[in-house]
Each structure stands twice: as structure tokens, then as C-alpha cells.
């Protein structure tokens, strides 16, 4: 794995935001990410943000208004791209498949398999590269995300609890096996055997008891004016699963808020404070 290349640096809120690129063995192509670090020697607790469909590392960085709170809390924020990109990387005309829509799984099917290894990229290549290059604390990591990235945050935390001590989500795809976005992506990336899909469904993982004893709480923020709420997101499936498993889950429903970054920017400081308090225990 090659070292991290810093593409640009920007002072903001008493810290530094860096846009970076590195070679990733999992995807076979260079990958981009942004990283905010407060001033000081560190090592800092770090929260990884996973973005939603069509996004890059830029969306959260430019729109979430997160770095003032992160600086005050002395916490780092890592925001990777949502998929591999570039010449020779498979794509699809639809916005919900291919580049910009990696769904944070390791594809097993053609033409996606050679590059769309997003789970391994996030939990291995990205964390190793950032940990080697910057003063972040390997034992104090959280993860959060939005929509497709909320699905990614929940499932990667549940599947890799040794890597992430906290997890929260904004308007996550709660059960991809039971919504159009998830079914389309899983069939393309993982094949027709739906038994394999279950391994990447947050509601089904929680129902199976995967979170029990690993996370004292899981925080979910959901806008009630979200036009994807009923068909794609279905937070009630998370609640039903958590109740069945005896897992604490906090779903906060916010009247009037939609699926946009205006929603995220309103509540991001709450989520960062929630992560920071738990990561510093």
C-alpha cells in the first residue's frame, strides 16, 4: 500500500481539513478521502463518515457543517468516497448502482468484483492508511453515515465491532433486503442467493443478536418529511429487530426534516458529541 498523498489543505475552525488520495489494494484504483484534524499532537478519537448514493468525499465535507463541533470536541472526522472510480471501473446508467453507489459491500459478481470491494477498503485499507499517516487513535473509533452510508455504518460496525466502538446513522437504509435500492444493489454485487444478502442487512443482523453486548446504544436520526422514508428507509424495522434482540436503539424522529444535508447539518453536532462522550470513556 502506498503512502497517502495530500492534495490540498484548508484551515477551518481551529483545525485542518485535508483532501487526500492513496492507492488501495482492495479496489485496485486510487481512492480519495477527506480528513479533519483538530490542532494539537493527538492521537485523536476518530469518527468515519460514510456518504450516500451519488456522493463523493466532498459532499459531507462541504455541506455538513461538522468541523466547528469536531474542533471543540477534539475529534477527527474521516470521510471517504462512496465507490471506486476511473477508467476501467464498471459503472451503470442508474444513479443507484455502480460508481457513486458501492453500498459498502465486497462484490462477488461480474463486472463489479475486480474493483467494488468497498467493505474491505473501508475496514482495512482506509483505516490502515489513515492510521499510519495521521495522529488518530486506533482504539477510539466510531462510524456514522447517511442513507446508503447509514446502511454502511450500521453493517460495518455490526460486522467489525473490534474496529468501531460507536455507531450512529442519519436516515439509514435500515433493511436493504426489503427495499428497492438494496435489492437492486445486492443482486448486482452479491448475486441471486438472498441468503448472502442477509449478512449485510442491519435490521437482520440486530435481530440475530449481533449487536448484543457490543454497543450500549445505537443512535438513528430520521426526518419525517423524508420522501424515501416509507419505501426505502423503514426505520421501524430496526426498532422491531432491536426489541426482539433486547438491544438498545434510539430512533429520533424529527418533524419537517427531509433527506438533505440541511437535515444532517442540523443534528451533526449532537451526533459528534454522542460519539465523543462514548469514545473517551
Residue 143 and residue 78: Cα distance in Å, rounded? 9
Q: In what order do the strands lie in the sheet with 219-223?
A: 5-12, 15-23, 30-38, 76-80, 44-50, 136-146, 166-170, 219-223, 250-254
End-to-end distance of the chain based on CA atoms, in angstroms? 33
Of residues 112, 108, 47, the one with CA closest to residue 74: 47
Q: Whole-angstrom Cα distance, residue 221 to residue 147? A: 11
Q: How far is it, in rounded angstroms, from Cα 214 to Cα 171?
A: 22
Which listed residue (83, 226, 271, 275) is catalytic? 226
* Cα–Cα distance, 269 to 40 (Å, whole number): 21
The C-alpha atoms of residue 42 and residue 217 are separated, in whole angstroms, by: 26
168 is catalytic: no
Active site residue 160: no
Residue 226 known to be catalytic: yes
Q: From residue 154, give the alpha-carbon distance in Å to each of 18, 78, 126, 266.
A: 26, 16, 17, 21
DSSP at 101: B
**Catalytic residue (one of 200, 259, 271, 275):** 259
- At residue 84, the 3 state secondary structure works out as coil
Catalytic residue among 147, 151, 200, 201: 147
Distance of CA 13 to the CA centre of its chain: 23
Residues catalogued as catalytic: 147, 226, 259
Amino acid at each position: 500500500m502506498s503512502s497517502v498523498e495530500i492534495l490540498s489543505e484548508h484551515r477551518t475552525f481551529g483545525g485542518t481539513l485535508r483532501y487526500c488520495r492513496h492507492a488501495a489494494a482492495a479496489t485496485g484504483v486510487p481512492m480519495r478521502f477527506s480528513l479533519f484534524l483538530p490542532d494539537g499532537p493527538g492521537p485523536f478519537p476518530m469518527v468515519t463518515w460514510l456518504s450516500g448514493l451519488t456522493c463523493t468525499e466532498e459532499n459531507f465535507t462541504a455541506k455538513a457543517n461538522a468541523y466547528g463541533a469536531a474542533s471543540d470536541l477534539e475529534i477527527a472526522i474521516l470521510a471517504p468516497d462512496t465507490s471506486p472510480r476511473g477508467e476501467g471501473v464498471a459503472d451503470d446508467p442508474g444513479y443507484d448502482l455502480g460508481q457513486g453507489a458501492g453500498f459498502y459491500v465486497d462484490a462477488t459478481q461480474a463486472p463489479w468484483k475486480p474493483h467494488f470491494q468497498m467493505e474491505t477498503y473501508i475496514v482495512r485499507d482506509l483505516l490502515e492508511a489513515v492510521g499510519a499517516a495521521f495522529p488518530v487513535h486506533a482504539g477510539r473509533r466510531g462510524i456514522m453515515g447517511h442513507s446508503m452510508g447509514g446502511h454502511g455504518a450500521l453493517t460495518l460496525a455490526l460486522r467489525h465491532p473490534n474496529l468501531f466502538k460507536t455507531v450512529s446513522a442519519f436516515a439509514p437504509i435500515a433493511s436493504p433486503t426489503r427495499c428497492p435500492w438494496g435489492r437492486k444493489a445486492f443482486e448486482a454485487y452479491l448475486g441471486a442467493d438472498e441468503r448472502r444478502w442477509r449478512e449485510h442487512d442491519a435490521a437482520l443482523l440486530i435481530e440475530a443478536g449481533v449487536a448484543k453486548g457490543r454497543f450500549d446504544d445505537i443512535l438513528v436520526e430520521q426526518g419525517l418529511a423524508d420522501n424515501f422514508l416509507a419505501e426505502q428507509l423503514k426505520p421501524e424495522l430496526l426498532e422491531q429487530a432491536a426489541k426482539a434482540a433486547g438491544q438498545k436503539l434510539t430512533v429520533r424522529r424529527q418533524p419537517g426534516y427531509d433527506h438533505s444535508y440541511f437535515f444532517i447539518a442540523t443534528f451533526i453536532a449532537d451526533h459528534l458529541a454522542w460519539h465523543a462522550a462514548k469514545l473517551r470513556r
